[in-house]
């Protein structure tokens, strides 16, 4: 009884002056059990008010998987997971070399290996993880730890009975997104994309200085329970051979995989090389690394601008439709080529010089042709214009065509 009383006093003093880490901020909680010594607490938050006495806990670094911190037992005192002078070097592999840690979670296999130490037992207090692992689905550590010495001393098996890891630790980051398109132009090799040579003004208003960035759909190694919560865009400008940050968005809460660089300050400029990248966040708040950036160059000048090319309303089947090919090109350039696709299987193309001062074509105005549709239907009309600088703009509109049935003609009939 006297020896038990002295041990109780010793452990009480160790608890009062022993190691402490921020238990409320540590990422491991719950309990382990040994038949010889009872419960071992991995975090002071396990017991109401205990953090006011000693704010201890065990933590796992979510990036490296390294363990650190302290657990506590009323019967054996502090159990250290921190590789320092107090702990010393583990007696055998793994991690008995120059490592700065003694226990590790392998984020690929989820296995937990290594050592902790019961400080009150000195070199006889080493605890080795045995068949231990973290289940990402439940965020629990299962398995065992073993303490036994050649002289027959030790506490034996310690079961990791209800040891919980914070979801932010075990939640693996989303898969790195892959940049797929700029302005509807597929990215095939991650090299320079010249957004200026083609502008497609169809479904979305995308221009050379307001590019649309697209990336691969969200994928998360934790399974379908994780979904995309947000994304973040970063754009850099090449200045004198050095990449300089131009714009980094705040996290954008959106599950989509496209971003239109529009209405943003600073705006993009003509004749400049940029690169952009994106990262995504899952619903647990974990970010993926940034995607491999893709480089693109804006055109040296503005692209041709096209107005509405098809009349509004409904056209008559069999009647001539006047299409509009009005185009504005930058000063010093002319329209050198154009192509109409009327959507009914017929096309019309040619070369057309455009007067940049008067805005009128020279020669016959084939750029604004008449066309007759012979069948009812809805047609997609496309005009593609290329200027003398080699830049191209494409405009699409839909045109509804149907037979115009005349109203009945009123005729007076005199009764008999």
Q: Residue 221 above 50 pLDDT?
A: yes
Residues 6 or more apart in contact with residue 153 via CB below 8 angstroms: 124
| Per-residue model confidence as pLDDT tens digits over 167-197 | 778 777 788 888 887 766 666 554 444 444 4
Calpha distance 284→288 (Å, rounded): 12
User: What's the CA angle centered on 184, arms 228 and 322, to 5 degrees?
Assistant: 130
Backbone angles phi, psi at 251, to 5 degrees: -55, 130
179-297 belongs to CATH 1.10.10.10:
no
First-to-last alpha carbon distance for the chain, in angstroms, is 135
pTM higher than the cut 0.85:
no
| Per-residue model confidence as pLDDT tens digits over 113-150 | 999 999 999 999 999 999 999 987 788 999 999 999 99
- Residue 104, sorted as left (phi over 0), alpha (psi -120 to 50) or beta, turns out to be beta
User: Mind giving me the DSSP string for 248-317?
Assistant: EPPPB----SEEE--S-SSPP-TT-EEEEEEEEEETTSPBPPPPPPEEEE--SSPPPEE---S-SSEEET
Q: Which CATH number fits domain 305-402: 3.40.50.620, 2.60.40.10, 2.60.40.420, 3.40.30.10?
A: 2.60.40.10
| Per-residue model confidence as pLDDT tens digits over 23-43 | 457 899 999 999 999 999 999
Q: Tell me whether residue 128 is exposed, middle or buried, using C-beta atoms within 10 angstroms of its C-beta: 0 to 12, 13 to 18, 19 or more.
A: buried
Tell me whether domains 179-297 and 305-402 share a fold: yes
Calpha distance 293→215 (Å, rounded): 11
Domain ranges across the chain: 2-170, 179-297, 305-402
3-state helix/strand/coil string of 339-383: EEECCCCCEEEECCCECCCCCCECCCCCCCCEEECCCCEEEEEEE
Most confident of 138-142, 230-234, 287-291, 331-335: 230-234
Q: Tell me whether residue 7 is exposed, middle or buried, using C-beta atoms within 10 angstroms of its C-beta: 0 to 12, 13 to 18, 19 or more.
A: middle
């Amino acid at each position: 009884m006297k020896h038990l009383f002295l041990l109780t006093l010793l452990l009480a003093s160790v608890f009062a002056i022993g190691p402490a880490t921020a238990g409320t901020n540590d990422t491991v909680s719950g309990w382990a059990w040994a038949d010889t010594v009872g419960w071992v607490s991995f975090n002071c938050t396990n017991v109401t008010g205990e953090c006011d006495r000693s704010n201890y806990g065990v933590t796992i670094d979510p990036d490296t998987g390294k363990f650190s911190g302290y657990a506590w037992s009323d019967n054996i005192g502090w159990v250290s997971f921190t590789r320092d002078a107090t702990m010393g070097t583990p007696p055998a592999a793994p991690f008995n070399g120059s490592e700065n840690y003694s226990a590790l979670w392998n984020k690929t296999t989820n296995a937990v290996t290594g050592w902790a130490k019961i400080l009150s037992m000195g070199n006889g207090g080493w605890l080795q993880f045995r068949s231990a692992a973290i289940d990402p689905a439940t965020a629990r550590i299962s398995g065992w730890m073993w303490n036994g010495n050649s002289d027959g001393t030790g506490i034996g098996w310690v079961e990791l009975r209800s040891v919980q890891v914070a979801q932010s630790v075990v939640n693996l980051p989303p898969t790195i997104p892959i940049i797929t398109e700029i302005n509807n132009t597929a990215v095939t090799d991650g090299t320079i994309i010249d957004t200026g040579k083609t502008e497609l003004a169809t479904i979305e208003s995308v221009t050379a200085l307001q590019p649309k960035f697209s990336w691969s759909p969200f994928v998360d190694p934790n399974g379908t329970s994780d979904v995309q919560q947000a994304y973040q865009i970063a754009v850099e400008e090449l200045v004198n051979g050095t990449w300089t940050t131009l714009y980094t968005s705040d996290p954008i809460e959106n599950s989509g995989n496209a971003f239109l660089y529009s209405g943003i300050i600073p705006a993009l400029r003509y004749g400049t090389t940029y690169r952009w990248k994106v990262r995504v966040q899952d619903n647990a708040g974990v970010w993926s690394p940034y995607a491999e950036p893709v480089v693109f160059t804006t055109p040296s000048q503005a692209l041709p601008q096209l107005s509405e090319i098809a009349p509004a309303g409904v056209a008559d089947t069999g009647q001539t439709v006047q299409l509009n090919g009005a185009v504005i090109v930058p000063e010093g350039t002319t329209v050198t080529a154009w192509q109409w696709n009327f959507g009914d299987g017929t096309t019309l193309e040619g070369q057309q010089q455009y007067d940049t001062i008067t805005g009128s074509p020279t020669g016959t105005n084939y750029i604004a042709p008449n066309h007759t549709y012979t069948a009812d239907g809805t047609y997609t009309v496309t005009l593609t214009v290329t200027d003398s600088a080699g830049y191209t703009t494409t405009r699409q509109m839909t045109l509804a065509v149907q037979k115009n049935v005349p109203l009945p003609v009123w005729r007076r009939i005199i009764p008999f």
